[in-house]
Amino acid sequence: MSQPTEEADKSTGNAQVTHESINFANFNQDSTCVSVGYQSGYKIFNVEPFTKCLSLADTSVGIVEMLFSSSLVAIVGLGELPDSSPRKLKVFNTKRRSIICELTFPTSILAVKMNRERMVVLLEDTIYVYDINTMRILHTIETPSNPEGLIALSSSTEKNILAYPSPPKLPNRQESSTKGATNDNDRSHLENIPENVNSNSSNLRNGDVIIFNSHTLQPISVIEAHKAQLSAIALSSDGTLLATASNKGTIVRVFDVETGVKLYQFRRGTYPTKIYCLSFSQDNRFVCASSATETVHIFRLGQDEANNTMPSRWSKNQKLALQRYKQSMKQKQGSKPSSLVDSESDPDVDELVENDNSDDDELEEDIDDELAEERFSSSLTVPRRVSSTTSLGSYGSQESIGDKIEPHVDSARRSVARMIRRTSQSLGRKAAEKMGPYLHPKFSSLLEPNRHFASLKVPASKDTKTVVAIGNSVGQGELPQLGEHEDVDNSSSTSDSTFHQKLLHVMVVSSEGFFYNFGLDTERGGDCTLLSQYSLLTDVNDG
């Protein structure tokens, strides 16, 4: 098979495309490879540089998941024959070209997740947990109907966290009003819903997430993420953070897994849409979301964003969560975060309350519904922002916090609509500055919510399904296109070598059959720049 063609013609859809179609695509645990399932087999591609690693002809493949970059691959068919049944899982050794084991389940397999210790198989109403070394079943979990196949498994075995949707529950105003994790000793979240209550009732909470320790095989807690039904969930690679989005698609939240405390809340857009994928960067500095609007939003997990999420009066759980998160980021960086003040000297942290008002988040979601009626586009222009030295994952001098850095703007995406939205956001920020001290913190945050740090537009049709991942730094050889961009500051003495160290790969795979590689400026944010694109549909039957 020839190498995938670069710079495919998206306007006509002609890129040596056959009549093949993509059934499945996903990144491996460290985002170094992409596995793709087709009607006649599957392929595995390396992403940096983009090359084909493996191509095997087979029956229709509905799921193909990798275990990092090893030779172990989990395959689920998508055919009518017994050997390609969606109820059968094959664990395959690609190096020896041999099947390690075959497992047959009572209903169709919706998802398979793996790390170096566990393999998790998801059916619509059951989860099976296996020892990946022996392929012995360890545990079975009965779940509510999960037709979307929502499940997440941390790639690190140090914590080995599994996350999946919780059964719906009726809000109980008598229970503790602290937002976040429900203690495992409190079993109220597992009580059966009364038979006379419609499962689609607006009174039900459908957006809770169960946190399960797949090493000890014990549930840990329930995180109250959203009131509405979940659309996407993701765990950070180390299992410390959980990202969630509901089927409204307007809000993305990030929680501390251990305490269940909400660390970040971001507004993705102003009207509902379907969020297909959430993904963390390997260092937990960013989380990205792809949606049906063909736009991928990248949110920065920084100190400013955390401050704008949490009220000035924090609960003890929130204090503990933020302290623990700061400490973990400090250990990753190997130096003390000078831009972060210690909690002992932080006046905001010293003001503690026993409980937060749990109605606040639901009030905010209700207000989001009202804002959704405005029907603005979700492709929002990012505001002026401070240098990323304020990020919890990027520590620097306190003096640099005041420096304003303009986000990168792609001239191809300039439009009157974006100018109008930017003006309205500027007015909102000015209103927040003047009225903020007199408003409840939740209303103040609505005037100036956390927006995306960066974004990119996928050259695909509307409602095209996409998966996204944040990779490593952009290599020196990939910079010429960026160096010629009109928005690069030519007056800067920064060399290309220094500049490329600030760029990260943001990789997108579309159901139309293309792999896109964008560059994210970690200092300026703004519009990501398309570096390259490749067709995944060329010479599918080769190999």
Domain containing residue 524: CATH number: 2.130.10.10
Helix (H, G, I), strand (E, B) or coil at 319: helix
528 is written with which tokens? 């990501």
pLDDT at 114: 98
Q: Does residue 381 sit within a domain?
A: no
Average pLDDT over residues 294-306: 95
The least confident of 147-151, 240-244, 368-372 is 368-372
**Residue 505 region by backbone torsions, left for phi larger than 0, else alpha for psi between -120 and 50, else beta:** beta
Which of 126-140, 347-361, 386-400 has the highest average model confidence (pLDDT)?
126-140
Q: Are 74 and 112 in contact (CB under 8 A)?
A: yes
Q: What is the pLDDT of residues 96-123, one digit of tens each?
A: 999 999 999 999 999 999 999 999 999 9
Q: What is the pLDDT of residues 230-267, one digit of tens each?
A: 999 999 999 999 999 999 999 999 999 999 999 999 99
Provide the residue range defining the domain that includes 142.
Answer: 22-171+205-363+450-535
Distance CA 27, CA 36 (A): 9
Distance CA 321, CA 17 (A): 50
Q: Does residue 419 sit within a domain?
A: no
Q: Does residue 244 sit within a domain?
A: yes
Q: Does residue 335 sit within a domain?
A: yes
The least confident of 140-149, 272-281, 391-400 is 391-400
Q: Does residue 313 sit within a domain?
A: yes
Phi (first) and psi of residue 186, to 5 degrees? -90, 105
Q: Does residue 389 sit within a domain?
A: no
> C-alpha angle with apex 534: 530 to 539, nearest 5 degrees?
175
Q: Does residue 394 sit within a domain?
A: no
Domain count, the chain: 1
Cα 3 from chain centre = 30
Q: Does residue 274 sit within a domain?
A: yes
